[in-house]
Amino acid sequence: MRSDSEQLPSGQLGRLLRVGAVGVGAALLLSFPAMAPNPYYLSAGIVVLSYAVLATSWNFVGGLTGYISLGHGALAGLGGYGTALLVTKAGLPSFVALFGAALLVALLAIPLGFAALRVRGASFVIVSIALVLILLLVFQSWASLTGGSRGLVVLRPFPGLLRPEHHRVFFFLYAALLAAALIAWWLIDRSRFGLGLKAIREDEDKAEALGTPTLSYKLIVFVVSAAFTGLGGGLYALWFGDLDPVFQFSILTGAYMVLMALLGGVRHLFGPLLGALIVGVGLEYFKVEYGSTPLHLVGSGLLLGVVVMFMPDGVIPAVSHAVRRLRGAADSSIREVTAAELAEQRRPAEPEEARR
C-alpha cells in the first residue's frame, strides 16, 4: 500500500511542508518569552524582532523593485521621533501617536520618493545616504524640539508593568507587526501590482516601454515600505523610552537592513527574517563579549563578503537550490534503476518472441 507522501503530488506535498514549517516557526516564536531564562534574553529577542520588522519593511523596495536604499534608517528614526514628539508635545496616547507618526512618515515619503526614485543605481544609493545625514543634522541641531544631543525621553505606555512583563508585551507587539508586514509583502508579491514591480526589478526600461507606470508603482511601494518602517521605529521608541539622534539616524541601521535582507534572500518572503535572526543574534553576541568595540562592524563586513561571494542570492535560495539538485540526482538514479529493471524483465521474453 502506498504511503500518504507517495499519494500526494510533489507540489502539494511541498506546500504542506512549507505551511507546517511556518506553523512550527510561529509556535517557537510565540513561546520564546516563556522560554527566555531572564529579562536580558527577552530584550535581545525584541531587538532581533525589531531588526526583522525593519528588514522586511526594507524588502518592499529592495526585494520587489531592486532599488538598494541605505536611507531607510532615517524613516525608522522619523517614526521613533514622530511617536515620541506626539506623546510628549501633543499629549496623544502612546499607540495613537504610534499610528499617527507612521501616517506622517508615509505622507513625507511621497515627496521624498518622488524626488529620489527618479534616479537609479548608485545615484539612488547616494541620495538615500544624504537623507540620513540631513535628518541627523536637523534633529541634532533642533534641540528645542528634539532634545538635540541630550536625547528625548518617552513615557512608556504601560507604566504599571515591571520590566519583564513590559518586555513580554512588546515582544508580542513586535511579533504582530512582523506578521502584518509579512502578510502585506506576500499579498503584493502575488498581485498584478507586484508583477509590475518585479518587471521593474528585472528591466525597468522594458517595463516602462510595455506600459507599466514605473514611477507610480515605485512610489506606492516606497510609501508602504515607509509606513511599516515608521511603525517599527515608533514601536522601538515606546519600548526603549529614550531616543538619541546619533543612534536613530545612523547609516548603520540602513546598512544592517540591507545586509539582513541580502543574507536571507531578498526575493523570498522569509529571507529578511532569517537574515535578521542571524545578524541580530551575532550583534548581541558581540555586544556581550566585546562591549563597545568595533568588532561587530568587522564581523558584519566579513559576513557580507561571504554572502556576496558564495551566496549572492541569499541563504534560502542557496539552500533551496541545493535541495533541488539533491532531489534531482535522487530522481535520476531512481529512473536509471527502473529502466534497468525493465530491461532485465524484458530479456527472457525476447527469444520466445523470436521463436514465434
Write out pLDDT tens, residues 94-148. 999 999 999 999 999 999 999 999 888 888 989 999 999 999 999 999 998 898 8
Task: Residue 93: give the domain boundaries.
Answer: 39-250
Q: What is the mean pLDDT of residues 215-241?
A: 96
> What type of residue sits at position 59?
N
Residue 6 lies in a domain: no
CA 245 to chain CA centroid, nearest Å? 23
Q: Which residues contact 106 (CB under 8 A, 6 or more apart)?
A: 223, 224, 226, 227, 230
Give the HSE-up count for residue 348: Cα atoms under 13 Å, Cβ half-sphere: 3
Task: Give the Cα separation of 42 and 161 in Å (integer).
Answer: 15
Task: Give the Cα separation of 97 and 83 in Å (integer).
Answer: 5
Quickly count: other Cβ atoms within 10 Å of residue 353's Cβ.
8
Q: Which of 36, 69, 35, 50 is nearest to 230 (CA)?
A: 50
The reported pLDDT for the residue numbered 78 is: 96
Residue 26 lies in a domain: no
Q: How far is CA 126 from CA 117, 123, 202, 251, 274, in A?
A: 12, 5, 21, 12, 27
In the 8-state DSSP scheme, what is residue 36? -
Residue 289 lies in a domain: no
- The 3-state DSSP class for residue 117 equals coil
The total number of structural domains in the chain stands at: 1
Examine the pLDDT at 300 and tell me if it is beyond 80: no
The reported pLDDT for the residue numbered 353 is: 47
Q: Residue 345's pLDDT band (boundaries 50, 70, 90)?
A: low
Residue 308 lies in a domain: no
Whether the model pTM is above 0.75 = yes
Q: Which of 67, 83, 56 is nearest to 128 (CA)?
A: 67
The reported pLDDT for the residue numbered 317 is: 78
Residue 141 lies in a domain: yes
- The 3-state DSSP class for residue 291 equals coil
Where in the chain does DSSP place strands (E)? 152-153, 242-243
pLDDT in tens, 195-223: 999 999 999 999 999 999 999 999 999 99
Q: How far is CA 297 from CA 52, 247, 256, 280, 286, in A?
A: 19, 15, 10, 13, 10
Residue 339 lies in a domain: no
Task: Give the Cα separation of 265 and 273 in Å (integer).
Answer: 9
Q: Tell me what the pLDDT averaged over the chain comes to.
A: 86
The reported pLDDT for the residue numbered 12 is: 76
The reported pLDDT for the residue numbered 295 is: 76
Residue 178 lies in a domain: yes
Q: Burial, 279: exposed, middle or buried (Cβ in 10 Å; 0-12, 13-18, 19+)?
A: buried
Residue 262 lies in a domain: no
Task: Give the Cα separation of 55 and 266 in Å (integer).
Answer: 10
Task: Give the Cα separation of 157 and 240 in Å (integer).
Answer: 11
Query: Rounded to the nearest 5°, which phi and psi values hold at 70?
Result: -95, 5
Where is average pLDDT lowest: 29-43, 241-255, 277-291? Answer: 277-291
The reported pLDDT for the residue numbered 72 is: 92
Q: Which of 78, 74, 124 is nearest to 104 (CA)?
A: 78
